[in-house]
Structure 1
Amino acid sequence: MPSVMGLLKERERAARQRVEILQAELQEAEAALERFVIARETVGQLLAEPRECEQKPVVRDARPVPVAGAAPGSVVPV
């Protein structure tokens, strides 16, 4: 019959192994989270910058340039 101390040491060892596994998983999850935050911030910065293709063309006279409406099913940026 195993001793009480032996059983406790066995359980302690198993708990330590589980903690080490969970800490490794936590580090991986934190790294993934950091990558997603950086990606989101980068995309936000890129979307905030005006693009040359979206700038209005230079018009020499004062007449307004006609703009076509949004097509059904098109996505309008925020």
Structure 2
Amino acid sequence: MASVLGLLEAREKKVREEIARLREEAERVQAALGAAEGALGRLVNARATVAEVLAEPPSAVTEPMSGAVAGAVVPRRTGDMAASALAPDYQQILSVLESEAGRAGMRCQQLAVALGLDAVPAKVEGLRSKAKRLVERGWALQVRPGVFTAPAVPAV
């Protein structure tokens, strides 16, 4: 028969191992809790900052500059808006379309050559995209599929 002291020692060893396992688990849970609390703090701060920014009066928001900026979005043409409102690339395309050669309509390959670009597919497709954007925003016309021209200027 096993001695009482031997049984107690075995039981004590088992409980010590359980305590060590639980401490490791508690440390892991504490680390996860700390990470979650940190994430929550960042989200609360972000929400407070956004609410603060949105609460500012509209006059505090600065309007973007109206000058032409390379890579800028093409604005919708309204009334007497000048081509100088367009980015330089779009101004060049429009000037070629407004020229004598462009009045009858130009395909994008012809447009590429007129702009001094190589008539390779990448350049032609880029011009096609820009020309279509000019059409969508009222700066140019597509007279036939793939053929673009400048809109007629009304006589004064």
TM-score by length of 2: 0.33
The equivalent of 1:31 in structure 2 is 31
> What do you get for the CA RMSD once the two structures are aligned?
2.4
Measured against aligned partners, the alpha-carbon deviations of 1:22-47 in whole angstroms (never above 9, x if no partner) come to: 00000000111111110000001111
Distance 2:7 2:41 in 1: 51
Which protein has greater RCO, CA pairs closer than 8 Å, 6+ apart? 2
Count of residues in correspondence between the two structures: 58
Q: Which runs of 5+ in 1 are unaligned?
A: 60-78
> Residues 32-77 of structure 1: CA distance to partner in whole angstroms, max 9, x if unpaired?
11111100000011111138x9564668xxxxxxxxxxxxxxxxxx
**Percent sequence identity over aligned pairs:** 28
Structure having the larger proportion of residues in strand: 2
- Where does structure 1 differ by over 6 angstroms across 4 or more consecutive aligned residues? none
Which structure has the greater CA radius of gyration? 2
